[in-house]
Amino acid sequence: MRPELVPTVGVLFITTPRFHDLGKGTEHGIYFERKEAEAKRILSDLSAFSNPVFERIVYSREDLQEAMDVFESRKVDMVFACFLSWSDDFAWIRFLRDMKPIPILFASLVRDSLGFSDSLNEDRFVEFLSAGSLVGMLEASGSASRFDRPMMKRAIGTLSDIMETCRTFALASAIRSKLKNTNFGLLPSFNKVMWSTYVDIYAFFMQVGPEIRFLSVLGLQQEIEALPAQEVAQAMEALLNQYDSDNTVATDMLKASVAASLALEHLGRKAGVEVLVLNDVDEVLLRTIGLRPGFTPCPGTDDIVIVPEGDVGGALATYILKLLSRKPVQFIEPFHIDQERDVFEAGHAGPNDYTDPMGKTLISRDERFAKTDYTFAGAPFAWHVIAEGQKTMLHISECNGTYKLVCSLIDALPTTHHLAGYTHGLFKPKKPCITFFQELMDIGITQHFAIAEGNYLKELEDIATIMRFEFHQI
């Protein structure tokens, strides 16, 4: 399993210096002590899902500059900004002006219990001032609209509400940072029979973040030739020990498929890529290598995401769901609607993650290519039936310079191995299938999706907001 992605969150607590020393000798203490106690509670909750940075309250311009310097040096993924009470806005407007472009959650906290009934003595008067966060928030909201910074989200609610909002926004922000330091490999090219999956790789770098590195069939062939025989034998043994195989599997064919899969991962690691986009129907690849690799991820590995058909947008969707879920993610395309049952079948041939222990995997011949004249025609692959349960279904593609992110919750239903040559599953959306696909048709997408167990719709909406993708939830 991949290590958990823990966001680094810059914390900007703002309040007024005018109230700093009010309340000396009162039952609940000085104003600044009350604010520090409040900040400590918030920081404790933030620490449950992130690494908070800069724990002091900002009272002055100097405090603000120090906070921004720390945010920069620690390379925070986002800033959590919160007015703790009534406040001057001199620090806030400088933050809006001077802070580099970064995701910001501008939050206002509502107390579960007010903590005072009147302001008729000094202790309750200070608590009245301390509770007045609406004043600061509303004042700050106008400046936020004037500056109109990108990647800003606004939220008001109780501490538990705001922490859940911050959790999803922080994770989305961390994924934005991760993508800026991620490399995609494309081997060997886009898929010329699916022009709709093409992306502008320069714009992809600018807007999304990853650099695309071009890998060659020759490089893959050299990796296959350099593989130690023992490494291939060990991988074959691990696969056969873990998964059943049917009577179509020939040992020499299995060896070739496993070797190509290992070599593909080796090639990706040497190129420094986290995601490898394989055009597995490329004629040069199939003529040279003689098959398409059928066992990625290889036994004991989980460091490179590999997807088929040269679809960079589909690869991005798969990688994002992998980061969110830290679980196996399948790459699919819908095949057909079974109108009698109001379900649809979907799946994909070629490389796919078969390691979900809740699914069903059988080592079997790749029937799609079994009757071709390729050297290893029909070489075995991991024939996987997708596990039942609730899934997030995600699509990302480029359209006229804009990226579309389309997501939905679907249910994977029980089914058996019955579509030869394809990882596959049986699915039911939350609305009638015809309505579901009509909406997809009207949005205008391509055919590929990633699916993973669980519900990540909130995180995906935040990712779309931060990345300025066009967002659709069905």
**Residue 449 covered by a domain:** yes
**Residue 2 covered by a domain:** no
Question: What percentage of the chain has pLDDT greater than the value 70?
Answer: 99
In this structure, the answer to whether residues 159 and 170 fall within a common structural domain is yes
DSSP state of 108: E
In this predicted structure, the answer to whether residue 169 has a pLDDT above a threshold of 80 is yes
In this structure, the answer to whether residues 58 and 128 fall within a common structural domain is yes
Q: Are 105 and 201 in contact (CB under 8 A)?
A: no
**The last residue of a domain, from among 179, 195, 213:** 179
132-141, 235-244, 272-281: range with lowest mean pLDDT: 132-141
Burial 346-370 (b: 16+ CB within 10 A, else e): bbbbbbbbbbbeebbbbbbbbbbbe
**The last residue of a domain, from among 179, 204, 228:** 179
How far from 189 is each of 193, 214, 295, 369, CA to CA, in Å?
12, 8, 21, 20
In this structure, the answer to whether residues 120 and 266 fall within a common structural domain is no
In this structure, the answer to whether residues 245 and 166 fall within a common structural domain is no
In this predicted structure, the answer to whether residue 1 has a pLDDT above a threshold of 60 is no
Main-chain dihedrals φ then ψ at residue 87, nearest 5 degrees: -160, 150
In this predicted structure, the answer to whether residue 364 has a pLDDT above a threshold of 90 is yes
In this predicted structure, the answer to whether residue 409 has a pLDDT above a threshold of 70 is yes
Query: What average pLDDT does the segment 368-376 reach?
Result: 87
Instruction: Identify the pLDDT of residue 345.
Output: 98
Q: Are 98 and 79 in contact (CB under 8 A)?
A: no
**C-alpha span between 411 and 391 (Å, rounded):** 6
Instruction: Identify the pLDDT of residue 122.
Output: 87
Query: What average pLDDT does the segment 257-283 reach?
Result: 97
Q: What is the CATH number of the domain that holds 148?
A: 3.40.50.10940
Query: What average pLDDT does the segment 400-404 reach?
Result: 94
In this structure, the answer to whether residues 267 and 413 fall within a common structural domain is yes
Q: Which domain holds residue 99?
A: 8-179
